Structure 1
Amino acid sequence: MYGDGQSLVAHVEVGRPGSPADAPAGQELPVEAGGSIVSDFDVVETITLKPDASLVKSLGAHHTLESAVADLVDNCLDAGATKVVVQLLTSADQLVQVEVIDNGCGMDSSAADKAMTLGHQREYADHDLGHFGIGLKAASFGHADTLTVWSSRRDMVSVGRRIRRADFSKDFSCEVLSEHAAATAAAHRKRVTGTSSGTSVVWTDLRGTYRGTNADEARTWMSNAERSLRSHLGVTFHRLIAKEILDIEIIVDDIEYADEAIGTPVRAIDPFGYPASGRPGYPKNIVAESGDQQVILQCHIWPPKVDIPGFRISGKTGGSFQGFYIYRRDRLLQVGGWSEVANSSAHRQLARVVLDDETAIGSLLTMNPEKAGLRFEPIFRDALAHAEAADGTTFDSYLKDAEAAYVEGNRRISRRQPVIAPEKGFGPKLRKSIGAELPLLHSDALNIQWKRLSEDEFIDVDFGNSTLWLNSRYRYLFAPERGSLNDAPVLKALLFLLTHTVFEGAHLGPKDKDNIALWSAILSAAVEAEEAMRGD
């Protein structure tokens, strides 16, 4: 019985030409397990079974917001885009619309129809990141009930298509949108990317976002979502960003002011950007062989107690990211994890392995549709067990070396921890001095600037923009000349040393909020006393 409650029954006519009854005398028919007889004589016709549109309901079920947006960025790269802008648009502090806009080659009407067709596999070029033909739909329907695509090719009419998940899951229907609406979208794209050519993917009727009525909770959810997305894109595309092949910006703003918003660049987060190896002789290439195929595993050991972006990713400790880092055309497909060839442990947290051989994908490794991890096939796991470096180092001995580096590192005297880099508001000499005394986290930077606040405030922490605002009402007390962006160096240096830890976390925790309230109260009282002592 099948899902529609009906059976498919094959009828064989006795004595029919070409049937088992007409098999040559003495010829034995194949016998399969269970004693059933199957041969080509049993085929009476071939039918085409079309997919049921209801499968759309399960599309993207395993996509996170981060992996879904990254999948859309893959499409942008395949279209030759050099700039991608991700817009997270809110209303009443809640996420209501996501847009991914690129300056790629764009699509005409025919290409747009194919892009919206489930499972359509175009002819992929050697450098393309697309693979399955479902990425756009799966990524979108994993998080939204309505997918709209606007696209323009140079000197061609702009096009628009819209799919409503509820309709698409019934009959794969897609709406063709007007040329006027598509031209309006192209004008918006030009304001965002600098060119009308390209594609805009828009998600509306979102699912899986914060739905409560607590404004603080909504803002916290939004801040965490942006931070996680920024980190994920920064590490996934770190090679392309570092090579200046790709520029990604993220905009978070109220939907009414989207056209006026300014994007913040995504910075590359290199998971191998350590200052020096944690073990002499590393990184080291270990070669795994399977038949005629060789795969090189570049084995790294991070230095112990270097907790910088790259080791720490998305606010999580580096121990969460030990394992394999698998690349395909400079795009990171797997961020850590041992894929059942080793076990995670605290002592192995310095061990990271690069696999950068796309010929292994499809033969020794199997990629999932979300491009968020790969399955190591049994033949590859067997090959790893016998893999060796030129000096005889095996995979197991590499793991032991990483464990030894961790243990030895914990015996050493503690060093100064890296701090967020100072940027706007700090003079070059002060920035250089801070960098000479403390290792810096270059994934983000702290600004200390002036703006007008209420009279009872001296400081305001803008966590999302990594900025400490000072009340310009009292600027004359510390910078009488008011002549420079980099004024009041002593005040700013003290405030940097006091507050930098707040801006280095993944979010504002209870302790951070309590410290901010404490600093604000004491500094506000102090500046009032300062003003009174000067007779102002």
Structure 2
Amino acid sequence: MSGLTYTNVAPSAARLTESLRDIGYDFPTAVADLVDNSVDAGAGRVEIEIRFDGENSWVSIADDGIGMSSKSLLEAMRFGSRRGYGLRDLGRYGLGLKTASFSQCRSLAVVTRQRGSGRTSSRMIDLDVIAEYDDWIIYSPAGDEHVARARKQIADTGGTVVIWRSLDRVLPERRPEGGWARRRIENLAAKTAEHLGVVFHRFLEGSVGDPLVITVNGEKVVPWNPFAPDEPARVELPLQRFELSVGEVSGAVSLQCVVLPSRDRFSSATEFDRLSGPLNWNRQQGLYIYRAGRLVQYGGWFGIRGIDEHTKLARAALEFDADLDLVFNINVAKMRVTMPPQLRQLLERPINELCIRADDAYRKTARHAGDTEDAPGRSPRAAQMELPLQRESGEADGPVATTAGLALHSAAMQAGEYAAWSRILNVLRTQAPDVAAKLGLDS
């Protein structure tokens, strides 16, 4: 800055903190962002309480992680804290604790104690105080019953407790003590448990890091694995890896495609219904994007193809590490990513092949069900004997021909002849539309 005339203009604390409240969280994703911090702190247990008490309702997220020193706590309370993040850290911007909390409440308190340390520290941010003084005020709470309770909670184990109060984004402005407000708190607790079971299923299962236990109001969160690893009839395609280089950023991305069993091949009807997921079968199909083992976004094909009833059994895990955050343009709430164009092209063939397999599995089940309904007296053996005739007549050739079309498409891309391929494709669609359709190239 030598030789320059400049003025340091700090932003209005009151205005900026209010603006940051609308960064895009809902209640379950805000809680999940705080669980990220607990995981990064090496916690083996995270206890979440969501308690109704009228306008005094409160939320607590407590862990048994490594805790923080008094100095580290002050830094953590800073908007945009000055700390580095490792490749496996779930944190990213130094904003999550504050933005997630204030998306739901106006009062944030943090109580922490380092493992093996004899000292417990606590700090508080209140948006009403910031609004009154228009300054970035952090203070030590005194005589606070929730803080006192939190101190006792981590006195022996160490760890951190985050407390939300003044839940203005959770409770209705009118009648916060009413029955509707109580039911809303109860519903949010259930939705939060469900969301955490999806987002952190690998941690809860112990497939990433040490096993993690999360409780919501004393009940253990049950992991929901979208890929049904215990179902013997599922089909797991070979793992694929891609190298991405965008500007000066490079890293690896892995893709694991799975075709889930159809209803009649699931271990039980109950398990089939459970695996339909929070969004139900059709909207649960698609890509599941994992960042450092944590599920960030799921459902849909990112424009590679559309949602289809016939491909509802297709799911694919796409995983990247935090070194590719800029490439995927992950947002502060860690809820949304942008698919890099380079990767989208690489994924077209494996995703379409996965969907062909899923479509085939779906249609085989539908044909079998149709045979049974049309001729209830016919034996399963008789139905099986007819399948070779169906294949000879060309009824089941569609998936094979479509795979050939995809292979031609992919080969043109890998040979650097995509422009020539596009011209050939346009001619084929015009002069031989039936061939283009059989190859799956009619759209």
Asked if these proteins are the same fold (TM beyond 0.5), I'd say yes
Aligned to 2:85: 124
Segments of structure 1 that go 5 or more residues without pairing to the other structure are 1-42, 252-262, 388-393, 415-536
Among residues 186, 210, 213, which one is paired with 1:247 in the alignment? 213
Distance 1:359 1:380, change over 3 A: farther
Q: Secondary structure at the match of 1:123?
A: coil
The Cα offsets for residues 445-465 of structure 1, whole Å up to 9 and x where unpaired, read as: xxxxxxxxxxxxxxxxxxxxx
Aligned to 1:229: 192
Question: Counterparts in 2 of 1:66-77, with a 5 A limit?
Answer: 66-77=28-39
Asked if structure 1 preserves the Cα contact closer than 8 Å seen for 2:288 and 2:316, the reply is: yes
Question: Counterparts in 2 of 1:171-250, with a 5 A limit?
Answer: 171-178=135-142, 184-190=148-154, 195-211=156-172, 217-243=180-206, 245-250=211-216
Aligned to 1:354: 317
Rounded to whole Å, the distance in 2 between the matches of 1:109 and 1:189 is 18
Rounded to whole Å, the distance in 2 between the matches of 1:68 and 1:77 is 15
Question: Counterparts in 2 of 1:303-322, with a 5 A limit?
Answer: 303-305=261-263, 306=266, 308=272, 311-314=275-278, 316-322=279-285
Rounded to whole Å, the distance in 1 between the matches of 2:280 and 2:346 is 31
Is 1:142 aligned to 2:97, yes or no? no
Distance 1:175 1:311, change over 3 A: same
Aligned to 2:76: 115
Asked if structure 2 preserves the Cα contact closer than 8 Å seen for 1:236 and 1:331, the reply is: yes
Count of matched residue positions in the alignment of Structure 1 and Structure 2: 349
Distance 1:56 1:412, change over 3 A: farther
Aligned to 1:264: 219
Asked if structure 1 preserves the Cα contact closer than 8 Å seen for 2:234 and 2:261, the reply is: yes
Aligned to 2:239: 285
* Superposed displacement of residue 368, structure 1: 0.9
Aligned to 2:409: none
Asked if structure 2 preserves the Cα contact closer than 8 Å seen for 1:157 and 1:179, the reply is: no
Structure that is richer in strand per residue: 1
Asked if structure 2 preserves the Cα contact closer than 8 Å seen for 1:325 and 1:336, the reply is: yes
Aligned to 2:16: 55
Question: Counterparts in 2 of 1:31-50, with a 5 A limit?
Answer: 45=5, 48-50=8-10
Is 1:336 aligned to 2:299, yes or no? yes
Among residues 361, 373, 395, which one is paired with 2:336 in the alignment? 373
Segments of structure 2 that go 5 or more residues without pairing to the other structure are 371-443
* Superposed displacement of residue 265, structure 1: 0.9
* Superposed displacement of residue 343, structure 1: 2.0
The Cα offsets for residues 330-372 of structure 1, whole Å up to 9 and x where unpaired, read as: 2212232322333222222211111123167335422111111
Aligned to 2:421: none
Corresponding letter in the other structure for 1:272: F
* Superposed displacement of residue 156, structure 1: 3.2
* Superposed displacement of residue 101, structure 1: 0.7
Rounded to whole Å, the distance in 2 between the matches of 1:91 and 1:180 is 16
Rounded to whole Å, the distance in 2 between the matches of 1:370 and 1:95 is 26
Question: Counterparts in 2 of 1:87-106, with a 5 A limit?
Answer: 87-91=49-53, 96-106=57-67
Asked if structure 2 preserves the Cα contact closer than 8 Å seen for 1:288 and 1:384, the reply is: no
Q: Secondary structure at the match of 1:177?
A: coil
The Cα offsets for residues 29-76 of structure 1, whole Å up to 9 and x where unpaired, read as: xxxxxxxxxxxxxx9545555444222112242101111111101111
* Superposed displacement of residue 219, structure 1: 4.4
Rounded to whole Å, the distance in 2 between the matches of 1:274 and 1:196 is 34
The Cα offsets for residues 151-207 of structure 1, whole Å up to 9 and x where unpaired, read as: 1123332111111123336221111234997983444314xxx83511110000002
- Structure with larger RCO (C-alpha < 8 A, sep 6+): 2
Q: Which has the larger radius of gyration?
A: 1
Asked if structure 2 preserves the Cα contact closer than 8 Å seen for 1:279 and 1:401, the reply is: no
Rounded to whole Å, the distance in 1 between the matches of 2:138 and 2:76 is 11
RMSD of Structure 2 on Structure 1 (CA): 3.0
Asked if structure 2 preserves the Cα contact closer than 8 Å seen for 1:364 and 1:377, the reply is: yes
The Cα offsets for residues 467-522 of structure 1, whole Å up to 9 and x where unpaired, read as: xxxxxxxxxxxxxxxxxxxxxxxxxxxxxxxxxxxxxxxxxxxxxxxxxxxxxxxx
Distance 1:249 1:401, change over 3 A: same
Question: Counterparts in 2 of 1:134-173, with a 5 A limit?
Answer: 134-153=95-114, 154-168=116-130, 170-173=134-137
Rounded to whole Å, the distance in 2 between the matches of 1:103 and 1:175 is 24
Aligned to 1:19: none
**Deviating more after overlay: 282-291 vs 228-237:** 282-291
Aligned to 1:533: none
Distance 1:56 1:219, change over 3 A: closer
Q: Secondary structure at the match of 1:312?
A: coil
Q: Secondary structure at the match of 1:91?
A: coil
Question: Counterparts in 2 of 1:467-478, with a 5 A limit?
Answer: none
Structure that is richer in helix per residue: 2
Rounded to whole Å, the distance in 2 between the matches of 1:102 and 1:74 is 11
Asked if structure 1 preserves the Cα contact closer than 8 Å seen for 2:46 and 2:213, the reply is: yes
* Superposed displacement of residue 277, structure 1: 6.7
Asked if structure 2 preserves the Cα contact closer than 8 Å seen for 1:86 and 1:100, the reply is: yes
TM-score, normalised by the number of residues in structure 2: 0.70
Q: Secondary structure at the match of 2:140?
A: strand
Q: Secondary structure at the match of 1:176?
A: coil
Rounded to whole Å, the distance in 2 between the matches of 1:360 and 1:338 is 23
Distance 1:359 1:139, change over 3 A: closer
Corresponding letter in the other structure for 1:399: C
Asked if structure 1 preserves the Cα contact closer than 8 Å seen for 2:109 and 2:163, the reply is: yes
Q: Secondary structure at the match of 2:361?
A: helix
Q: Percent identity?
A: 28
Corresponding letter in the other structure for 1:378: P
Among residues 222, 228, 239, which one is paired with 1:273 in the alignment? 228
Distance 1:152 1:215, change over 3 A: same
